Every structure is written in structure tokens, then in C-alpha cells.
């Protein structure tokens, strides 16, 4: 019988609880912002960001829950969930390709999705290693790190869903380099940059 090593048990208990709470909050964020975005006609980008956040949180939740089930081989669970997650990311990328150039931040959204795809590739490889070597500690450590990364991706996407302000390093440097015109044009540009997302 293959079970998750005891030293990782507490991590997966905590991450399962965090992931469950974040999924619930994501549903609230989507329902609150959907009507506002429909009025602006920005629903496709909204869907893509929501899918990215939900996929990241669901992956973290599923891996954590399977790690806690006694006798369940986490390698197969991580491998299977990585394939499903990759399919969701590919579908989101295809959806983004249909609307590319129609809204601000398309490149950033695409890069974010590609980053999530990289997570699923690493998870698939870690799952395969666990399938062949069930007690490979490094593979469990890799899965723990990927779960943390999924939380970070999901939180960033959720922040964009609710329209949270973004402060980018390069953007702030550009603002410092520009001459202070003090006009409305700069304020309008700042608002446009805030809508682009990370």
C-alpha cells in the first residue's frame, strides 16, 4: 500500500483547507464582477482569467485531497490532474487567440496561461516519477512547491477579476522617467494600464 509520507501530511492538510476556501471566494468574485464586465463587453477575458484561477485552485485542492487519502497512489492522481489541467489551459489559450488584439493585456494573459501550463508539465513529470518510484521524496517536494505556485497564480488571477489595482516595477519606472505634465492624459493612461492586468 502506497501512502503519502508522514512529513508531508500537515502541508497537504493545510493546503486542502486553503484551496477549498479560495475556490469559494473565487465563485463570489466571479458572481460579483460578472454583471459589471458584461456591461463593458469584457466577458471573454474575464472568462479566461476565471478559468486560469479556477484551474490553479482546483489543481491544488485535488492534489492535496488525494495526498490525504490512505492507500491512494498520489503519482497517478497528480499525473491525471495534470493532464486535465493542461487541457483546460490549452482551451483557454485557444479562446484567447480568438480575441487577441481586442483588449488590453492579451499578451500578459497568454504568458500567465503558459506559466500555468509549465506547472502542469512539471506536475506530470513528478507524477510519473512517483508512479515508478512511489517513495521518491523529491517528487513529493516538487508537488508541494507546485501547489504553492498554483495558489500564487490563482490569487493573482482572482485579484485581476475583481479589478484590483496593479503596481508593476517597469510601469513605475516609466512614470518616473516621464515628465510630469499634470494633465488628464496621464491619469487616463494610468487607468488604462490598471485595466491591462499583470
Q: Is residue 159 part of a domain?
A: yes
Q: Is residue 198 part of a domain?
A: no
Rounded (5°) CA angle 180-183-188: 105
pLDDT of 198 above 50: no
Q: Is residue 191 part of a domain?
A: no
CB 55 within 8 A of CB 89: yes
The CA distance from 48 to 56, in Å, is: 12
How confident is the model at residue 170, as a pLDDT?
Answer: 64
* Rg of the chain in Å (alpha carbons): 19
pLDDT of 168 above 70: no
The CA distance from 46 to 130, in Å, is: 36
Burial 116-130 (b: 16+ CB within 10 A, else e): bbebbebbbebbbbb
How confident is the model at residue 43, as a pLDDT?
Answer: 65
**Over the stretch 44-101, which tens digit does the pLDDT of each residue have?**
777 788 888 889 999 999 999 999 998 888 999 999 999 999 998 898 888 877 766 5
Provide the pLDDT confidence category of residue 197 given band limits of 50, 70 and 90. very low
**Over the stretch 1-56, which tens digit does the pLDDT of each residue have?**
677 888 999 999 999 999 999 998 888 878 777 766 665 555 677 778 888 888 99
- Residue 72 CB-density burial (10 A; 0-12 exposed, 13-18 middle, 19+ buried): middle
Q: Is residue 94 part of a domain?
A: yes
Give the CA distances from residue 121 to residues 62, 89, 91, 92, 167, in Å, rounded to whole numbers and listed in that order. 16, 11, 16, 16, 30
Please report which helix (H) or strand (E) contains residue 124, including its range. Answer: helix 106-132
Helix (H, G, I), strand (E, B) or coil at 186: helix
Q: Is residue 183 part of a domain?
A: no
Q: Is residue 184 part of a domain?
A: no
pLDDT of 196 above 70: no
| Domain count within the chain | 1
Q: Is residue 1 part of a domain?
A: no
Supply the DSSP string of 144-178, one letter for each residue: HHHHHHHHHHHHHHHHHHTT-----HHHHHHHHHS
How confident is the model at residue 51, as a pLDDT?
Answer: 83
State the residue range of the domain holding 22.
6-164
Q: Is residue 107 part of a domain?
A: yes
Amino acid at each position: 500500500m502506497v501512502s503519502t509520507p508522514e512529513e508531508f501530511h500537515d502541508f497537504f492538510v493545510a493546503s486542502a483547507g486553503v484551496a477549498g476556501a479560495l475556490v469559494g471566494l473565487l465563485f463570489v468574485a466571479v458572481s460579483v464582477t460578472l454583471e459589471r464586465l458584461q456591461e463593458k463587453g469584457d466577458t471573454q477575458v474575464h472568462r479566461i482569467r476565471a478559468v486560469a484561477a479556477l484551474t490553479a485552485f482546483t489543481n491544488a485542492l485535488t492534489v492535496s485531497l488525494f495526498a490525504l487519502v490512505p492507500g491512494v497512489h498520489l503519482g497517478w492522481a497528480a499525473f491525471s490532474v495534470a493532464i486535465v489541467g493542461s487541457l483546460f489551459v490549452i482551451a483557454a489559450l485557444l479562446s484567447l487567440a480568438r480575441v487577441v488584439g481586442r483588449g488590453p493585456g492579451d499578451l500578459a494573459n497568454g504568458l500567465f496561461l503558459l506559466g500555468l501550463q509549465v506547472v502542469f508539465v512539471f506536475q506530470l513529470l513528478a507524477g510519473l516519477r512517483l508512479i515508478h518510484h512511489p517513495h521518491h521524496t523529491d517528487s513529493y517536494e516538487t508537488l508541494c512547491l507546485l501547489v504553492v505556485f498554483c495558489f500564487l497564480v490563482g490569487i493573482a488571477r482572482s485579484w485581476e477579476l475583481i479589478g484590483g489595482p496593479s503596481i508593476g516595477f517597469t510601469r513605475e519606472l516609466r512614470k518616473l522617467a516621464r515628465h510630469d505634465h499634470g494633465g488628464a492624459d496621464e491619469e487616463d493612461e494610468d487607468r488604462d494600464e490598471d485595466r491591462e492586468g499583470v
